[in-house]
Structure 1
């Protein structure tokens, strides 16, 4: 089968997540005990049956400890400590009873300790093994170098094994954290897209419905006005397609000026008299974009639910904060699906250091108030996280 350029090779489970080695990787170290086994076969060690049973017990305990050490629940269990204690007892008994090459079981004991213990318990137990192995090497060894070689080999076996396994565990945790961060990023992107899609389609479809109704009413008596409404529907539809494409790619900014113009047109078509007041210094693009989303959602809700005759949109601010207030004289209903659009806007503004409050007006109708700091960096960070 031909390999197309850029085609990704399917990785095996081991290639995708190699992780730390398992306990079987430590079994070849048992070859250190071949010398003692040879002594038993050649009759150089007294009481061969006792030595053979000790050798069998040590190997069995070593294999159990090594395999269990790579399962965290088993490694930290009391059973693992009991097995390690029994292994230490057998090691010291063989070293005291036979000496010589049997002292080489101390490095294996230290290796097993390194696979099981961590931090302070590891240091304490490893020091005991190293010094006791050195002392027994001086007493029971065949060479004056035995205290140093046995002690050093025990220290290296335990310390290096523990360091490598702890590093492997850290790498695995980092890999797991990276995967979790990737999942979180995907969830955030899905949330961003669902919010944008809700805001875009909710407003656009409301405008199309209102203008279609207006065209239907005007058609019998004023065909030119009806055709003008139809042309507006076409324009709104084309603009919606462009905005949806931009929302998919993540680059859309809801311009406040454009949204105010569209809100005026949509409110007029719905029979609601719009009043727009602007004051204060020019806004940063990111701040204006956030307020544009608020205007879009508020205008959509007013058209759908308010039954209002008048809607006022006021934008004022200073060098530190900007305030957007939208009020109508309708029946005091902001949305028939609480928490859908307004909840998303509240979260967006809160992430940018602002706030959004919505509820019945002081006399009647519905009022929505949005406040934002005039801070480009904060708004940009909000847009990125949203």
Structure 2
């Protein structure tokens, strides 16, 4: 991960150049106590800044205290250009301290510099001198604090953006895997069932086996088309297309479809979600239920559009016609019932066992994926068994 540049000790060490002004006075009027005091100020400032940026807060506070004592002592003793040391002390405070402690410290440092300036300045320009020193001292610490806070915020925002990018990638991977399951899960399970039928039919009826093999080829080609569409960013065929495919699938499965639709125009995202709900709901009816009737209702309400898919196949009623004839793949309606007409013995316990295994592999995953889609879109989703051997799926999308 690329990190944002952060200021370090070098970025603030150069402010020690402000000691040039009192040092210039020392060259003109040498004083060994002042030289020693100025050396203490320079060393304490540089060590304070370094300790603050190397994660040693206690040492930084101790050195800051030494710097403050030396600065005020020199300013009180000499005044004049030595007052340039007050902004140096304020900068060190902005580097080391944070929050309320910094505010109180800057207030104390500023007031102390004002008192010393008033005491040492004298003359008619005392007011201007006090104002200049106090303003320079206070703003130096504030600017340093704001600068460090700004860089810290930038770094935090950068890290947050990186984290959001990683989360978006993970979410997209989850979405794509969910899409592939919804597109191919039931289709592949049907191909397994039909392949088993081909294997069992070859010794008895080559023509019926060839028809089943043709179904597998057709299903495979359509599945490949769906995968390519998904890779290209396609998320679903929409409600109208899925409903048309669902009618064919239910008819092939021997389930009577009762469709009631209000005249509504859902938004593109809502239309896509309703299409997925039809696909998954009707696929579950065809693959897992023993239904004779499936009711699909689309109702337009004030704040939402409600899709309800119900069937009467919760309780066992014996094998469905689709199970006896292997004639449906769920929503896509690609089955051909005549292919096995007259071969009811091949709807045997072994073949139904294979179909049951395929169904158990996928059971629950499709509804879970649909629930995830609904949650992401802010829609309301419910699915479960009802009294009287019925099962209902409800998807309510906001208008």
Q: TM-score range by the shorter chain?
A: 0.7 to 0.9
Aligned equivalent of 2:134: 151
- Match of residue 34, structure 1, among 14, 17, 20: 20
- Match of residue 261, structure 2, among 246, 264, 280: 280
CA deviation after TM superposition for structure 1 residue 303, in Å: 6.4
TM score, norm. by length of structure 2: 0.73
Aligned equivalent of 1:136: 116
- Match of residue 323, structure 1, among 292, 295, 308: 308
Matches of 2:131 and 2:377 in 1, distance apart? Answer: 65
Find the residue that maps to 2:396 and give its secondary structure.
Answer: strand
Q: Is the 8 A contact 2:250 2:256 kept in 1?
A: no
Residue 369 in structure 1 maps to residue 369 in structure 2: no
Q: Which runs of 5+ in 2 are unaligned?
A: 318-355
CA deviation after TM superposition for structure 1 residue 78, in Å: 5.2
Residue 24 in structure 1 maps to residue 10 in structure 2: yes
User: Using a 3 Å threshold, how does the CA distance of structure 1 residues 273 and 126 change in structure 2: closer, same or farther?
Assistant: same
Aligned equivalent of 1:212: 195
Name the structure, 1 or 2, with higher relative contact order (CA <8 Å, separation 6+). Answer: 2
Q: Is the 8 A contact 1:322 1:374 kept in 2?
A: no
Residue 348 in structure 1 maps to residue 358 in structure 2: no
Q: Which runs of 5+ in 1 are unaligned?
A: 1-12, 376-386
Aligned equivalent of 2:230: 247
Q: Is the 8 A contact 2:380 2:397 kept in 1?
A: no
Structure 1 segment 29-178 matched on structure 2, within 5 A = 29-37=15-23, 44-45=30-31, 48=32, 50-70=33-53, 74=56, 77=57, 79-118=59-98, 120-141=100-121, 144=125, 146-178=129-161
Find the residue that maps to 2:255 and give its secondary structure.
Answer: strand
Between structure 1 and structure 2, the one with the greater Rg is: 2
Matches of 1:182 and 1:254 in 2, distance apart? Answer: 28
CA deviation after TM superposition for structure 1 residue 340, in Å: 3.1
Matches of 1:230 and 1:336 in 2, distance apart? Answer: 23
CA deviation after TM superposition for structure 1 residue 337, in Å: 6.6
TM score, norm. by length of structure 1: 0.75
Find the residue that maps to 1:315 and give its secondary structure.
Answer: strand
Matches of 1:177 and 1:70 in 2, distance apart? Answer: 23
Matches of 1:119 and 1:210 in 2, distance apart? Answer: 70
